[in-house]
Chains A and B, each alone.
Chain A
Amino acid sequence: MKATLPFTLILLSSVTPGLGHRLDEYLQATTISVGKDRVDAQIRLTPGVAVYPIVFASIDMDADGLLSQDEQHAYALRVLHDLSFTIDGARLAPTLVSAKFPAMEDMKEGQGEIQINAAVDLPGGGTHRKLVFENHHQPAIAAYMVNCLVPLDPDIHVKTQDRNYQQSLYQLDYVHTGARVGPASVAWWTGANGLLCAVAALLFTRLALLWRHQRA
């Protein structure tokens, strides 16, 4: 495959220099949406005309020239396998939510977009969180993009985003102000909860003293 790729690219580049569609890249644009306990990712994959044969061959496993439902599903899972999600250093396994494939003719012309929706469940954690996303799918021909949508949850605030030059590696630091922090943690006691508990304790003590005084 490696030997034939440059030849295919040169051939198609010289034949169709001005056509209005993607040519020799496999655009893989990911948008990440962070929620309280879940991260959703949409990956849009658009093979250029010149790399379409490579992408098609990797989906059409039985080489019958058609993309069956099983082959599409298997390909979507392989894409997910090439992605990596970690939260606060812990590896997460993405699950496939849906996969939509364009008509083969559209893909051949470099304008068909494969859409894969995935989700990862987030374990509970602290207020400050670090999500790392990596895309290693078809690196030889890939043009990666990754962006975070503005969180819909007003308790989630993006702090910083970092990427490597190719955008195959993306790091998102965010704050979840409404994080589920239990009474066992220091954070729970140092906030408004602690103040309310102190006031409640004082009232309870006062009531207990009054009750004792009346009985006496």
Chain B
Amino acid sequence: MNGLPRGTARRIWVVTLICWMSSAAVAETATARIVSAANAFLATLDQKQRQNVMFAFDDAQQRVRWSNLPTSFVHRAGLSMGQLTAAQRSAALALVSSALSPMGFEKVQQIMDGDEVLKANEGGNPMFGKDLFYISILGTPSEKQPWMLQFGGHHLALNVTIAGEHGVLTPSLTAAQPALYTLNGKTVRPLGRESDKAFALLNSLDETQRKQAVLNYHVPDLVLGPGQDGKTIQPEGLKASSMNDQQRAMLLDLISEWAGIIHESAAAARMAELKADINETWFAWSGPTTVTPGHNATAYYRIQGPHLVIEYAPQRLGGDLSNHIHTMYRDPTNDYGRKFTAQ
């Protein structure tokens, strides 16, 4: 430092301070960014639309108004994409995107695109399509007070609770039919990694581990799907404490397909929590243990830990189990972020 003129040293110090303050600000921006996107979306709406999209934070009915089913079967409240102008729709999707990671938002878009493909496959059936995905806000977007963003429709239910710096994505449902389709010449599998990574883990197990992981009974559907809040079932299968380090890493990587849907800082905190729990986490499999390359698993599997339930459940409807998948992501101790919101 002795070699530097006093003015230069002061400038370096000031720049360093600004950089440090900026990085601190960047670290805080996840919630601020989402709040800003929420306010930008709300600013595009007229008063009636705003009334329709906003609910009290403690609105218990709206909180649980989500499903895997089409909106014609289970009514969703809020505003549908079809009710919005192009600018409003862009602002709504920008809000959803701000709350998610790039990977998470891509998955959401692929699920929505899939529903549009289903609509076309069904001869333009009006019960499907991208226009029928709803957005709603519970509470007032705030950097300090808790609030919720809900986005979903057929085969999608995102419940994002924001409470200060915390972001919680449970309970959320991701699903797809078709779960394999071609769009603009590209093959799309919205839940493909959920299948591929699970098979990689299954195939890494030795005979003894596999015997524990593979259940001897058929699981026809999600056990803890929509409407099953607050339940914790007895875990089964292979405990990760009986896996080796590589297998545990594969299990965490598989879990990240759900935990990583939310924006990066919330996902990092969630993954740290789930990593700490890993030895108490179970992996259970029911159904075929082989898969056609490039296709999705036709077997059910469940990952369950002290703060986690993930289910992957192929559906018979449509005739091809690999092409119709439902998945569920829960934290039985913190669904709807209740740990942070004192509900």
- Interface of A toward B, CB cutoff 8 Å: 13, 17-25, 27, 29, 31, 106, 109, 111, 113, 143-145, 147-150, 158, 161, 163-167
Contact = CB atoms under 8 A, between A and B. Distances in A.
* Residue from A27, A109, A147 with most neighbouring chain B CB atoms (10 Å): A147
Contacts of A27: 220-221
Given A20-B70, A23-B316, A149-B233, A143 B216 contact: no
15 contacts: A13-B319, A18-B121, A18-B177, A20-B68, A20-B155, A20-B177, A23-B316, A24-B316, A111-B69, A113-B227, A143-B220, A144-B220, A163-B217, A166-B217, A167-B218
Contacts of A166: 217-218
A20 B154 contact: yes
* Residue from B125, B220, B221 with most neighbouring chain A CB atoms (10 Å): B220
B74 interface: yes
A149 B231 contact: yes
Nearest to B119: A18
A58 B264 CA distance: 52
A24 B318 CA distance: 11
A21 B317 contact: yes
A25 B220 CA distance: 10
B273 to A, nearest CB: 19
**Nearest 4 CB-CB pairs, A to B?**
A143-B220, A163-B217, A147-B233, A148-B234
Interface of B: 68-70, 73-74, 118, 121-122, 125, 127-128, 154-155, 177, 216-221, 223, 227, 231-234, 236, 316-319
A21 B69 contact: yes
B288 to A, nearest CB: 14
B76 to A, nearest CB: 14
Given A143-B221, A145-B223, A19 B317 contact: yes
A150 B306 CA distance: 11
Contacts of B155: 20
Contacts of A29: 221, 223
A150 B233 contact: yes
* Residue from A18, A27, A148, A165 with most neighbouring chain B CB atoms (10 Å): A18
- Classify the interface of chain A: helix, strand, loop or mixed: loop
A166 B219 CA distance: 8
A123 B103 CA distance: 54
A148 B233 contact: yes
A18 B122 contact: yes
A147 B234 contact: yes
Given A20-B317, A109-B73, A165 B216 contact: yes
Contact of B73 (A20, A23, A24): A20
B221 A18 contact: no
A149 B223 CA distance: 11
Contacts of B219: 145, 167
Given A18-B118, A20-B155, A164 B234 contact: no
Given A20-B68, A147-B223, 17 more contacts: A17-B319, A19-B317, A20-B69, A20-B73, A20-B177, A21-B69, A23-B317, A109-B73, A111-B73, A143-B220, A145-B219, A147-B234, A149-B231, A165-B216, A165-B217, A166-B218, A167-B219
Contact of A163 (B128, B216, B234): B216
Contacts of B122: 18
A28 to B, nearest CB: 10
Contacts of B118: 18
A2 B216 CA distance: 30
Contacts of B125: 18
Contacts of A111: 69, 73-74
A49 to B, nearest CB: 10
A25 B316 contact: yes
A22 B233 contact: no
B217 A167 contact: yes
Contacts of A18: 118, 121-122, 125, 177, 317-318
Contacts of A25: 220, 316
Contacts of B221: 27, 29, 143, 145
